[in-house]
Structure 1
């Protein structure tokens, strides 16, 4: 189980990576499976935050 600090750090990392990807439009260049995995990870985080 991740600690509160680890979850906060992971959230910051994801937000930073998303901002960079938005600037660089990285998602356009990724293959379908990678995009799908990123979406699933984001969905897991959203569900965990909703609890």
Structure 2
């Protein structure tokens, strides 16, 4: 993995954190909490299936 890949991943993490913070006042916690859990679950399944 190159340094550029790490920078892109870091930028995505920062953007996700900022977006999540902004959405806290818009959507109830009941919606916001399962969303990252679902994303992590899908990512884990995709990683496990990777050949």
TM-score under structure 1 length normalisation:
0.51
| Offset at residue 14 of structure 1 (A) | 0.6
Provide the residue aligned with 2:37 in structure 1. 34
Give the aligned length.
35
Give the direction of change, closer, same or farther, for the CA distance of 1:20–1:34 in structure 2 (3 Å limit): same
Unaligned runs of 5+ in 2: 41-51
The structure having more radius of gyration, on CA atoms, is 2
Moved over 4 A (4+): none
Q: Write 1 or 2 for the structure with the bigger share of helix.
A: 1
TM-score under structure 2 length normalisation:
0.51
- Give the alignment's Cα RMSD to 1 decimal: 2.9
